[in-house]
Amino acid sequence: MNFGVWFKTYRRSLFKLFIMVIFVGGGFAQFFHKHIQTVSKNPWSSFQTQIAKCWTPLSGSNQPKVDIKLEVNPDRTIQVAEVVDKARYDKDQSFKTSADMAIHALNDPACHQLDLPLDKYEEWKEIFLTFDPKDVP
Amino acid sequence: MKHNYFTAFCLAILCLILPFSAHADIHVDITRGVVEPIPIAIPSFFGASGTESQYGRNIAEVVSNDLVRSGLFSAVDSKAFVQDGDSLLVAPKFADWRVLNTQALVVGKIEQQSDGRLKVEFRLWDVFAEQQMTGLAYFTVPNNWRRVAHIVADAIYKRITGESGYFDTRIVYISESGIATNRMKRLAIMDQDGENNHVLSDGSALVLTPRFSPTMQEITYMAYYNNRPRVYLFNIDTGHYEVLGDFANMTFAPRFSPDGNKVIFSLSENGNSNIYTMDLHSRRTTQITSGASISTAPCYSPDGQHITFESDRGGSQQIYTMSATGGNVQRISFGEGNYGTPVWSPRGDLIAFTKLHGGHFYIGVMRPDGSGERMLAEAYHAEGPTWAPNGRVLMYFKESPPGAAKSTRMYSIDLTGYNEREVPTPTDASDPAWSPLLP
């Protein structure tokens, strides 16, 4: 069987295989993208440390994690800090307490000006922070 | 068919590209923080008259002591305060308080009403955000000021930590006095901070293992009146006491069910002991365990569906759980040594216990399935853990080794194993039992 005949016979299978490879590749791409993002957090490690020093989570309790959306001014001060899940904030007392503690951290004078690279404003003008006490003793 | 292939092809390409196109947002996880007490400033509550000012000073002091003793707060030094009670009522100068590293500020006011009652009001401020977090007012008779102070402390604790407070509670315990060979053990009660101490029994009989009713009206305990060891019920309000049931043998280790309708206890028979319950309305007794072993120190789970207890049925003293009717018995302690006096946390997530290993006693906690065992305190002799109603703090007693300075004192400790503090009592003290929040 020459290649032309072989291709004609298996072209549908080949196309299906091609589509599958792209789908699986997409999945892998997402997986690696996530990890690449984690690695890319390194430029923000000093920022991470700064916020951690302003945050006083309650030790020994199972506080829920809270997502906060930050809008940051070019001078690295916080313009807006808001709880992402507002509906839960209104009805879950435990979540409300965690969220209040996170916002309290962002109001700490030590976190007034954020430790962010000045030349990358376009990257950090909007930041999503997750306060997750999983490593708190 | 060609159209379907084209659609599939486009979807696949999209799938490949999408993750990269959504790269605009920065996500940062904060998983560690600063675990240290929150600095809180509690200036004296403002009072216009001398009497009101005195109440204002007293209440602020009790609130501050409650919060600091919890280990979750530190009091900003009053000598550094930048505003007094009067000017604070107009408007706190937040910038000045921030300089003192104050994170929370309590501003209060006392007013005596025409009927003699006190109006106690306070506001809790978030100094960083310059926002009021909560504000409440209470009316009370003047000699109840201390209790109102505990209620204010509970409100502040709950607003900041999200957990219920435990300051408006009492402790019943055994007041001990006299030499070791002739020790007098009397039933006593006090506020959780050691104030308002009252002795409830005259010392004519040895009293042990008092436990609060969840309804707060009664205490159950074991006493040797006329040298007959029995479980008793004692009404705190009336002072009336009665023996629980009419059993030929010794009854001991009583504890109320979570709804307060039953008492669970041990009954000794032929060198063994088993667990029974008594319905306090019908006075009907139900046997929960049976067998030729010692099963004792029973304690219900907060939902009343399970019981934890200690038993030597496996050859050594260990902790078990079972259903409230006695089925599905499971051993949960498997570490080295002997385990006893299990007490289920009001949250339901942990069981506190006493452990004896290598000649030392330990107070520890584990999950109800026996996992996550960790020790919180160690002593020559430590025993009798009892939970604060919020399940965050434990109290127990420690006895020092025999000698000239032998003493038995009660201590509280945070669930994290930090902040161990002696609970002040006028005499030696043991067997504490923490009440629920006062109604």
Of A37, A43, A45, nearest to A120 by C-alpha is: A43
Given this model, what pLDDT does residue B20 score?
47
User: In 10 A of CB B141, how many CB atoms?
Assistant: 11
- Give the span between the Cα atoms of B161 and B163, in whole angstroms: 5
The strand ranges marked E within B179-317 are: 184-191, 198-199, 207-212, 218-225, 228-235, 241-243, 251-256, 262-269, 272-279, 285-287, 295-300, 306-311
* pTM for the whole structure: 0.84
The vertex-B333 CA angle with B329 and B338, nearest 5°, equals 115
> What residues in B contact A30, CB-CB < 8 Å?
19
Given this model, what pLDDT does residue B362 score?
97
Residue A128 and residue B128: Cβ atoms within 8 Å?
Answer: no
Residue A104 and residue B16: Cβ atoms within 8 Å?
Answer: no
The minimal CB distance from B15 to the residues A26, A129, A133 is found for A26
Mutation target to probe the A interface, by most A beta carbons within 10 A, among B6, B23, B32, B376 is B32
Given this model, what pLDDT does residue B389 score?
96
Residue B416 and residue A137: Cβ atoms within 8 Å?
Answer: yes
The minimal CB distance from A124 to the residues B26, B160, B416 is found for B26
Q: Is residue A25 pLDDT above 70, yes or no? A: no
Q: Would you say B114 and B139 are in contact if contact means Cβ atoms under 8 Å apart?
A: no
Q: Which residue of A has its CA nearest to B26?
A: A127
Of B373, B341, B367, B372, nearest to B354 by C-alpha is: B341
The minimal CB distance from A136 to the residues B20, B27, B32 is found for B32
Q: Would you say B220 and B244 are in contact if contact means Cβ atoms under 8 Å apart?
A: yes
By the CB < 8 Å criterion, does B34 face chain A? yes
> What residues in A contact B5, CB-CB < 8 Å?
15
> What residues in B contact A25, CB-CB < 8 Å?
16
By the CB < 8 Å criterion, does A31 face chain B? no
> What residues in A contact B20, CB-CB < 8 Å?
29, 33
By the CB < 8 Å criterion, does A48 face chain B? yes
Q: How far is A59 from chain B (nearest CA, A)?
A: 6
Given this model, what pLDDT does residue A106 score?
95
Residue A39 host element (H or E): helix A3-39
**For residue range B369-406, what is the model confidence (pLDDT) as tens digits?**
999 999 999 999 999 999 999 999 999 999 988 776 77
Residues B236, B238, B244, B249, CA torsion sign: positive
Residue B28 and residue A109: Cβ atoms within 8 Å?
Answer: no
> Which residues of chain B fall short of a pLDDT of 50?
19-23
- Per the DSSP assignment, residues forming a β-bridge with B124 are B106, B134
Residue B21 host element (H or E): helix B2-21
As a whole number of Å, the CA-based R_g of chain A is 23
Q: How far is B392 from chain A (nearest CA, A)?
A: 8
- Per the DSSP assignment, residues forming a β-bridge with B266 are B252, B275
CB < 8 Å from B in window 2-21 of A? 15, 19
Of B167, B184, B162, B143, nearest to B58 by C-alpha is: B143
Of B304, B305, B335, nearest to B319 by C-alpha is: B335
By the CB < 8 Å criterion, does A46 face chain B? no
Q: What's the distance, Cα to Cα, between the start and end of chain B in Å?
A: 74
**For residue range B237-279, what is the model confidence (pLDDT) as tens digits?**
888 889 988 788 888 999 999 999 999 999 998 889 999 999 9
Of B19, B24, B10, nearest to A31 by C-alpha is: B19
Residue B35 and residue A131: Cβ atoms within 8 Å?
Answer: no
Q: Which residue of B has its CA nearest to A109?
A: B128
Furthest C-alpha separation in chain B: 100
Q: What is the DSSP string of B144-189?
A: GHHHHHHHHHHHHHHHHHSS---SS-EEEEEEEES-GGG-EEEEEE
CA B175 to chain centroid? 20
Residue B33 and residue A105: Cβ atoms within 8 Å?
Answer: yes
Residue A56 and residue B33: Cβ atoms within 8 Å?
Answer: yes
Contacts for B215 with CB less than 8 Å, ≥ 6 apart: B260
Given this model, what pLDDT does residue A41 score?
47
The minimal CB distance from B15 to the residues A23, A47, A136 is found for A23
Per-residue tokens: B261: 């309708």
**For residue range A79-132, what is the model confidence (pLDDT) as tens digits?**
999 999 999 999 998 899 999 999 999 999 999 899 998 888 999 999 999 999
**For residue range A61-81, what is the model confidence (pLDDT) as tens digits?**
778 999 999 999 999 999 999
Given this model, what pLDDT does residue A15 score?
72
Residue B194, classed as helix, strand or coil, is: coil
B104-112/B38-41 β-pairing: parallel
CB < 8 Å from A in window 230-289 of B? none
Q: How far is B132 from chain A (nearest CA, A)?
A: 12
> What residues in A contact B8, CB-CB < 8 Å?
19
Q: How far is B380 from chain A (nearest CA, A)?
A: 27
Write down the residue that tokens 């002799």 correspond to.
B381
Write down the residue that tokens 């994290």 correspond to.
B416
Rounded to 5 degrees, φ, ψ at B353 are -155, 170
Residue A57 and residue B25: Cβ atoms within 8 Å?
Answer: no
- Give the span between the Cα atoms of B335 and B371, in whole angstroms: 10
By the CB < 8 Å criterion, does B6 face chain A? no
Per-residue tokens: B418: 């930090």
What's the Cα-to-Cα distance from B68 to each of A59, B40, B61, B393, B413, rounded to whole Å?
A: 15, 9, 10, 14, 13
Per-residue tokens: A53: 């020093």
> What residues in B contact A19, CB-CB < 8 Å?
8-9, 12
> What residues in B contact A112, CB-CB < 8 Å?
none
Q: How far is A25 from chain B (nearest CA, A)?
A: 7
- Per the DSSP assignment, residues forming a β-bridge with B296 are B310
Q: How far is B159 from chain A (nearest CA, A)?
A: 8
The minimal CB distance from A104 to the residues B13, B36, B126 is found for B126
- Give the span between the Cα atoms of B277 and B266, in whole angstroms: 9
CB < 8 Å from B in window 71-110 of A? 93-94, 96-98, 100, 103-105, 107-109
Burial class (CB in 10 A: 0-12, 13-18, 19+), B146: middle
ipTM, two decimals? 0.73
